[in-house]
Amino acid sequence: MDILNTILNAQNGGAVRQIGQMVGLEKEQTTTALEALLPALAAGFQRNLQGADGVGALTAALAQGNHGRYLETPSTLGDASSIADGNGILSHVFGSKDVSRQVAARASTQTGIDPAILKKLLPIAAALMMGTLSRQTQSAGASQAVATSGTDFLSMLTPLMDANRDGSMLDDVTGMLGRFFRA
């Protein structure tokens, strides 16, 4: 199952309902917002995986944190510690608050949802994504294999990054990275 579906189906949709209530969105709007935000997060993770020791750093972060709790107990997503964790993930993935603002603004134009709401949702989405990666690597017993190749992480991120569903994520990632990570 891909990351988006894992998040949308967590606790039979309970995670989506919980975060929707936290930011004042209906379930359908929350789903739409996540569909717009997660590809940009996936592109950020992809970018980091390609950096020096990117796979090792992500593997270590997954091993150290209790990220799976975000999927298992969605009520924790509103905790200050969860928001701080999500903001830490965003800082690592995007590198600056400016990129996070650009992601929220772009998602707003795609969805019609206020960018201020999307900015509030972004750290929650980041925490959920990390929880999904954690769960999928643990259930697959992939920690050792991932530490050497990164292939498993990329296979998890690919469905999110193939925005035009043409079977290739290369054109989509190139476009996303160009928009969000300009020097």
- Candidates 99, 155, 92, 76; CA nearest to 126 is 92
Which residues, 6+ apart, have CB-to-CB distance to 100 below 8 Å? 90, 94, 119, 122
User: Which structure tokens are listed for 95?
Assistant: 């590198």
DSSP secondary structure string, the chain? --HHHHHHHGGGGHHHHHHHHHHT--HHHHHHHHHHHHHHHHHHHHHHHTSTTHHHHHHHHHHHS-TTHHHH-GGGGGSHHHHHHHHHHHHHHHSSHHHHHHHHHHHHHHH---HHHHHHHHHHHHHHHHHHHHHHHHHTT-HHHHHHH-HHHHHHHHHHH-TT-SS--HHHHHHHHHHH---
Query: Binning pLDDT at 50, 70 and 90, where does residue 139 land?
Result: low
- Candidates 55, 43, 70, 86; CA nearest to 135 is 70
Task: Note the pLDDT tens digit of each residue in 155-178.
Answer: 555 555 455 445 444 444 445 445
| Residue numbers of the domain that contains 31 | 3-180
- Spatial distance between the Cα atoms of 74 and 15, rounded to a whole number of angstroms: 5
pLDDT at 133: 84
State yes or no: pLDDT of 124 exceeds 80. yes
Measured in degrees and rounded to the nearest 5, phi and psi for residue 36 equal: -85, -35
pLDDT at 141: 55
As a whole number, mean pLDDT of residues 29-48 equals 90
- Spatial distance between the Cα atoms of 129 and 146, rounded to a whole number of angstroms: 17
The total number of structural domains that make up the chain: 1
* Least confident piece of the model among 3-7, 37-41, 60-64, 113-117: 60-64
State yes or no: pLDDT of 58 exceeds 80. no
- Spatial distance between the Cα atoms of 7 and 72, rounded to a whole number of angstroms: 10
Looking at every residue in the chain, the average pLDDT score rounds to 78
State yes or no: pLDDT of 54 exceeds 80. no
As a whole number, mean pLDDT of residues 10-31 equals 92
As a whole number, mean pLDDT of residues 118-129 equals 94
State yes or no: pLDDT of 95 exceeds 90. no
pTM of the entire structure? 0.76
Q: What percent of the chain has pLDDT over 70?
A: 73
State yes or no: pLDDT of 74 exceeds 60. yes
- Spatial distance between the Cα atoms of 10 and 60, rounded to a whole number of angstroms: 24
